[in-house]
Amino acid sequence: MSPENENFSDDKNSSRNRRISLDDWVSIYHINHDTFFQLVFALPEVAIAFLKNVLPSKTIETIELEKIEIQDGILGESDFFKKSAADLIYVVPYKKGNEKLHVFVILEHKSYSDRLTIFQLTKYCVHIMERELKNAENDKEMASFQFSSIIPIIIHHGESAFYEPTELNNLIIPTLGVEQYGINAKAFLFDLNRISVDKLKFGTNVPEFTSVLKMMQAVFSRHGKDEASEALTVLRPYSDFPKFRNLVYTLLIYLARCSRHVTKQEYNQIIYDNNIVDQGEFKMISIADQFIAEGIEQGIEQGIEQGIEQGIEQGIEQGIEQGIEQGLIQGLKNNIIQILAERLGKVPQSVQDSINEKCDKIALQTLFQSALHVKSFEEFIKEL
């Protein structure tokens, strides 16, 4: 069954679960390891280079990587599992074959060692198989039906290497004489704690791929400052291209949010030394990071207080969720005013009032982008 005919997302939550892109960087200041992974490994250049390094050459020869389709990992509900959500799913067609034939690649990202990771991947595989079976039944193709090939992959980076099982049998108590029977699943392991990015066989000429992997290593490294600089240096020759500049912003936000050992002073020095953004953008990144962080924290605190007042667990959860949203909106407002002040001088009170009156996040994101580029307050007022 062609993947285009399969629904691998929950329609009720499709807008909420929409995969973010690099163009949405201003709205992902609450980025974490998983969010970053889903963002950057959804880049086709990164996906293709990654699979070339992980999959056997015989597999690469039989599939058309250039036609890769990247899907959200949200699989919705099934008869067996109430909820199933991998980090990302790649769908790759076979070469010179029926256009309906394809391979699923399930990616599960870990920034820590999780003993049950292979069990998670097994559930995702069964969920995809169940979806395929239902589609075959609906299309009355059961007589010739076969499941698609599914390749599970674990991508790990963290404080230490990944030593947990990558084969389901290692989680099952063995019964002598019948070990080869029963359910089993195996996953490829791509562990950045054991890899030198510069020595990878493929992808070292793909700047997005190299810079992403180096930054993933840098956030956990005690030499994070130097390694983060290396990650950005890879992109320096391409810094005039919008898609690469957006990737730079994303890498910097990820470093600021998730680095274990890079200090604020070192972070600012990384931006300055790499000369990859001009001084106005340098100020913008530092200011944006500071103000949105404060806005989120304040919003969460307010949300918790509101939830506690309601006195029920659901109220607390909803309050936190609303608080985060309010924090992001307030952070955007503060951002816009501060960036205008840095770029154009004192912001007229009327302009500040107009910005603060707005509560729509999308509209504020548009104003944020305008604040980065307008040459005068008159030009900015036209965008209000």
Mean pLDDT for 274-279 is: 59
Model confidence at 371: pLDDT above 70: yes
The pLDDT tens digits for 233-264 are 999 888 778 788 888 888 888 888 788 888 87
Mean pLDDT for 283-302 is: 48
Q: What pLDDT score was predicted for residue 322?
A: 64
The CA R_g of the chain, rounded to the nearest whole Å, is 23
Of residues 17 and 276, more confidence is placed in 276
Confidence of residue 229 (pLDDT cuts 50, 70, 90): very high
Model confidence at 370: pLDDT above 60: yes
Q: What pLDDT score was predicted for residue 156?
A: 97
Q: What pLDDT score was predicted for residue 267?
A: 82
How far is Cα 259 from Cα 244, in angstroms, rounded to an integer?
21
How far is Cα 245 from Cα 225, in angstroms, rounded to an integer?
20
Q: What pLDDT score was predicted for residue 207?
A: 94
Cβ atoms within 10 Å, residue 194: 10
Confidence of residue 301 (pLDDT cuts 50, 70, 90): low
Contact of 84 with 76, CB cutoff 8 Å: yes
Of residues 89 and 332, more confidence is placed in 89
- Sequence ranges of the domains in the chain: 3-195, 286-381
How far is Cα 106 from Cα 73, in angstroms, rounded to an integer?
8
Q: What pLDDT score was predicted for residue 290?
A: 47
pTM, two decimal places? 0.71
Contact of 304 with 320, CB cutoff 8 Å: yes
Of residues 290 and 247, more confidence is placed in 247
Percent of the chain scored above 90 by pLDDT?
A: 37
Q: What pLDDT score was predicted for residue 8?
A: 40
Q: What pLDDT score was predicted for residue 309?
A: 54
Model confidence at 4: pLDDT above 50: no
Model confidence at 47: pLDDT above 80: yes
Mean pLDDT lowest among 33-42, 226-235, 255-264? 255-264
Q: What pLDDT score was predicted for residue 136?
A: 86
Q: What pLDDT score was predicted for residue 158?
A: 92
Contact of 132 with 3, CB cutoff 8 Å: no
Q: What pLDDT score was predicted for residue 67?
A: 93
How far is Cα 161 from Cα 144, in angstroms, rounded to an integer?
43
Question: Crossing angle, helix 313-344 and helix 361-373, to 10 degrees?
Answer: 20
Mean pLDDT for 207-234 is: 94
Average pLDDT of the chain, as a whole number: 79
Model confidence at 1: pLDDT above 50: no
Question: Crossing angle, helix 207-218 and helix 33-40, to 10 degrees?
Answer: 170
Model confidence at 315: pLDDT above 60: no
Contact of 85 with 76, CB cutoff 8 Å: no
Model confidence at 191: pLDDT above 80: yes
Model confidence at 92: pLDDT above 90: yes
Contact of 283 with 338, CB cutoff 8 Å: no
